[in-house]
Structure 1
Amino acid sequence: MLTFLGDQVLGRSVCVYSGSVIDVFARAGVGEQATRSTLTRMVNRGLLRRQREGRRMYFGLTEHSEAVLRDGERRVWHTGAVNRQWDGTWTLLGFSLPESWQRQRHDLRSKLAWHGFGPLFSGLWIAPGQVDVAELVTELGLASHVKVFRAHADDGTDITAMIEETWELTELAARYTAFRERWQRWESELPSCDDALAHRLLLQTDWLRIIRRDPRLPVRHLPSDWPADGAEKTFRRVHERLTPLADEAAERVIDLVESRS
């Protein structure tokens, strides 16, 4: 849903008709009830707002969802999947939470993983580069329970071994390889116009799932056959091929109205 909204609504001051969302998602293999339930949950979580036009219900973004989508946009189109500019800096984040705070602990770990952190030790997480986590910590209300430091490893530290121990590289590499195998056929083939819209939605969602799990570790400390670069090239080529047909379909099947807020 966030991928769809990023494509069709973000930056346009418009709201999208629920029926249009249902139609597009049906082509992507998602049932009507699941789509309606997702829209409702996102409204309840402050990620969407409703706007009625006659008998039709439209949905628009909130400040929260815009921020989430802008962050995803940066990760997909600007940051890239391969980190070649690492300056040797690490961000260390230590936290200590009461045992009863299971939800807060889960939320913190999920947010840290999205921002590229991995568990160096229990209660001590590490990420390559200088990562600003002030907003993240404040949003979760955990500022008094978290300490953040910038650091460089001593010369004797085996960074490659540390990375292998902290992050699941084998699983991440397998995800990149599977992505490329799944989508590379569309580098030379094209679906029908309407199917192109659903394919692009699935392509972007599939890619976002992978990079959400990728801490963008320094490439010089990764295996020489690291598959992220090849997978990213496949993503960009297939997206470029699908976009003209997908945009044509979107103009025809997606009903948008001007946002009133």
Structure 2
Amino acid sequence: MNSSLNTRSMIFTIYGDYIRHYGNEIWIGSLIKLLKVFGHNEQSVRAAVSRMSKQGWVESRKEGNKSYYYLTPRGVDRMDEAATRIFKLKQEKWDGKWIMLTYSIPEERRTIRDELRKELIWSGFGAIANSCWISPNHLTKQVNTLIEKYEISENVHVFLTEYQGPHEHQRLIQECWDIAEINSQYKRFIDGYQEKYEIAKIKIQSGKMTPADCFVERTKLVHEYRKFLFIDPGLPEELLPEKWLGNQAALLFSDYYRELAEPAGEFFETVFREGNELKRKNKKYDIFQHPLILED
């Protein structure tokens, strides 16, 4: 996986893992200070936030001479969806049904067509044929949102169906997703983070890792793990290969996250307090209360 930490992507991560739980908005000065620990300067932060605003992810308000940025409903919805997928350690039992979406979008709207493809991949769909996408997950809500967002109700058909062969379900999986490559990405994550977790656990418990260090490490961990949203469709257990590493990676992520959560949150609050009203939604740091993100 690419471990580069571009400014905009890091801002998304911090919004989803922290700001979302503190009233949903932050003073730009605090955001600049938080990003500084990763080597991002003020100019790059302001440029990234401006871009996010133009794309409809955040909006701003002024209070005196201070600018505050908060997530739009669109941004909040996307993070809720991401949280449901990333923090689910075990898939629900599959009912054997597939959702299928077909579309015929005219060439003059190809920009929308390209955006729709990206959204479908993010939601976990796979292309079984040109302009025909399938998923074994319950994604009716996401599909309806996309139809409304891109105003394509005249160009799409949606089915809830069962596969009648002549092949096994595994044939569909192999045609739609590169499962071997996804599994190898999980192996890289496990290989890269298992030792880090063990070392950090000892350091934290012996007081040799500061809250700032924990903030940096937790943010990098979330930033890296959330990339699986873009490649792993979250298939039901019945459709996964025997030697699937996704569950092992999820357990490692949750263990490491829990270890870092409280001291990292303390550092965030210290910075946040300087220019914002502290409005934490719940006192307890719980992995299942922290949605992830969103955009790469």
TM-score, normalized by the shorter chain, greater than 0.5: yes
For the aligned residue pairs, the C-alpha RMSD in angstroms reads 2.0
Counterparts of 2:69 and 2:192, CA distance in 1: 32
Residue 11 of structure 1: how far off its partner (Å): 4.6
Give the aligned partner of residue 123 of structure 2: 115
5+ residue gaps, structure 2: 1-10, 201-208, 279-296
Q: Retained in 1: the 8 A contact 2:26–2:276?
A: yes
Counterparts of 1:130 and 1:250, CA distance in 2: 36
Give the aligned partner of residue 161 of structure 2: 151
Identical columns (%): 26
2:172 to 162, 176, 184: 162
Counterparts of 2:228 and 2:74, CA distance in 1: 22
Deviation beyond 6 Å, 4+ runs, structure 1? none
- Higher relative CO (CA 8 A, sep ≥ 6), structure 1 or 2? 2
- Residue correspondence of structure 1 range 191-230 to structure 2 within 5 A: 191-230=209-248
Cα gap change, 1:14 to 1:131, in 2 (>3 Å): closer
Residue 187 of structure 1: how far off its partner (Å): 2.1
Give the aligned partner of residue 41 of structure 1: 51
Give the aligned partner of residue 111 of structure 2: 103
Counterparts of 2:194 and 2:174, CA distance in 1: 28
Residue 256 of structure 1: how far off its partner (Å): 4.9
Counterparts of 1:98 and 1:14, CA distance in 2: 38
Counterparts of 1:72 and 1:14, CA distance in 2: 16
- Residue correspondence of structure 1 range 34-183 to structure 2 within 5 A: 34-77=44-87, 79-80=88-89, 82-83=90-91, 85-132=93-140, 133-154=143-164, 156-183=166-193
Q: Please say which of residues 41-50 and 240-249 is displaced more in the overlay.
A: 41-50
Counterparts of 2:146 and 2:212, CA distance in 1: 39
Give the aligned partner of residue 276 of structure 2: 257
Give the aligned partner of residue 197 of structure 2: 187
Residue 161 of structure 1: how far off its partner (Å): 1.9
Please, what TM-score do these two structures have when normalized by structure 1? 0.90
Counterparts of 1:142 and 1:92, CA distance in 2: 16
Query: What is the number of equivalent residue pairs in this alignment?
Result: 257
Please, what TM-score do these two structures have when normalized by structure 2? 0.80
2:29 to 19, 39, 53: 19
